[in-house]
Amino acid sequence: MFYREAGDFKLSYVEDSQTFPIRFDRYRYFAVLAVAYGVIPFFVNDYWANAILLPFLIYAIAAIGLNILVGYCGQVSLGTGGFMAVGAYACYKLMTAFPDVSMFIHVLLAGGITALICVLFGLPSLRIKGFYLAVATLAAQFFLVWLFNRVPWFYNYSASGQINAPEREVFGIIVTGPNAPAWATYMFCLIFVTFCAVVARNLTRGTQGRTWMAIRDMDIAAEIIGVSPLKAKMTAFAVSGFFVGISGALFFSVYLGAVEVGEAFGINKSFLVLFMVIIGGLGSIFGSFAGAAFLVLLPVVLKVVGVDMLGWPTDIVAHFQLVIVGALIVTFLILEPHGLAQLWRVAKEKLRLWPFPH
């Protein structure tokens, strides 16, 4: 009824090729942005920012990054944790070396450095595919964590090997460190999420995204019709690394404030982000958000329901969390192997026909 193409006339090519061709989608998108930028910052408190919104936003960036690599370009990666660590340590070194530079620049530079490292570790993808590539990126994961643990220069020779985010500003507003107000940290991450999502969306629906998808769907055929596998794979690794690096930098500097590489960026992190991408939906920007929300929010919701509302013992709730999240993942993947994004797509198809399905 209200969700359909009919009656929405496009008068120019620009309008015709816009991201959201359906008017309702467009309004919904602007409504979400308006709430995120105009409403939430005024109500957000420490708990909401640090326990729910920041992890959600930061993991969403990481998931978008990995989705470009795995979902769009078909290159399996288990090195996300290691690449996030590169972003975090790059950000730390930059923050401590140039304290007067704005955090925006540090985070972007950290993303750039991670992109370079990611390309370096992506080189084997030209020769190997599938599971073998997964093993190669796994090596990157272990090597990077080992490196940051081993070389004291990366953690500025601190006694414990931890890195701590000092207080840094953006336009005079503190965004890192303990005195940063909740709204500032939230806005800082939100701007990066919006930037990353818009860039990713536009990259993936243009030429670049099509070459990635061509490589994903059949690399030999793609090569025959003139897609360069070297360029396609390396750009995918670079763009993915850039996003993952940004998320790692934010994860360390804004969200946690102190990081220990083995604990924060271990193999578990790689799997967590990969699960977000798989559950959310491979090859979908919305899916990255949905997957991140699912895996970040669900444990918190279960904890609030179990411990705070029902008053159950904390260990039982923690065990139930594993059971419930695990069961939901299995159920989702059986019912909808293409992830939450596919559910959303099906819902939209149904909505288009509603209320007259036949």
Partner 1 sequence: MKLKLTTLALGALMMAGPAMADLVFPDLSYRTGPYAAGGIPFSDGYNDYFTLINERDGGIGGVKARVVECETGYNTEKGVECYESTKGEGALVYQPLSTGITYQLIPKATADGIPMHTMGYGRTSAANGKVFSNVFNYPANYWDGASGVVNYLLEENAGDIKGKKLALVYHNSAYGKEPIRTLEELSKKHGFELSLLPVDHPGQEQKSQWLQIRRDRPDYVVMWGWGVMNQVGVQEAANIRFPMENFIGVWWSGAEHDVIPAGAKADGYKAITFHNVGRDFPVFDDVQTYVVDKGLAAGAGDQIGNVLYNRGFYAAMLAVEAAKKAQEIHGVADIDAGMMRDGMEALEITQELMTELGMPSFGPSFSVSCENHGGPGLVGMTQWDADTQTWSMISGFNPTDVDVIGALVAEDSASYAAEANIEERCN
The residues of the shown chain that bind partner 1, judged by CB under 8 A, are: 46-47, 50-51, 55, 96, 149, 158-162, 164, 166-167, 177-179, 255-260, 262-264, 266, 300, 303, 307, 310-319
**Minimum CB separation from partner 1 for residue 16, in Å?**
44
State the pairing for strand pair 258-259/163-164.
Answer: antiparallel
Cβ distance to partner 1 smaller for residue 53 or 118: 53
Q: Which residues contact 273 (CB under 8 A, 6 or more apart)?
A: 59, 62, 63, 66, 80, 81, 244
φ, ψ dihedrals at 8, nearest 5°: -100, 90
**Residue found under tokens 């769009």:** 72
Q: Per this entry, what is the length of the chain?
A: 358
- Rounded-to-10 torsion of CA 26, 31, 33, 35: -170
**Minimum CB separation from partner 1 for residue 33, in Å?**
26
How many angstroms separate the CA atoms of 269 and 266, rounded?
A: 6
Cβ distance to partner 1 smaller for residue 246 or 264: 264
**Minimum CB separation from partner 1 for residue 179, in Å?**
5
**Minimum CB separation from partner 1 for residue 167, in Å?**
7
**Minimum CB separation from partner 1 for residue 313, in Å?**
5
- H-helix segments, 123-206: 130-150, 182-204
**Minimum CB separation from partner 1 for residue 14, in Å?**
43
Name the DSSP class of 265: S
**Minimum CB separation from partner 1 for residue 357, in Å?**
43
Cβ distance to partner 1 smaller for residue 311 or 355: 311
β-pair partners for 174: 169
Cβ distance to partner 1 smaller for residue 25 or 260: 260
Q: What is the DSSP string of 272-286?
A: HHHHHHHHH-TT-HH
**Residue found under tokens 């990255």:** 288
Cβ distance to partner 1 smaller for residue 50 or 284: 50
β-pair partners for 169: 174
Which residue type, as a one-letter code, is found at position 262?
G
Comparing CA positions, the residue from 338, 165, 129, 138 lying closest to residue 259 is 165
**Minimum CB separation from partner 1 for residue 48, in Å?**
9
The H or E element that residue 50 is part of is none
Cβ distance to partner 1 smaller for residue 12 or 160: 160
Cβ distance to partner 1 smaller for residue 46 or 217: 46
Cβ distance to partner 1 smaller for residue 159 or 220: 159
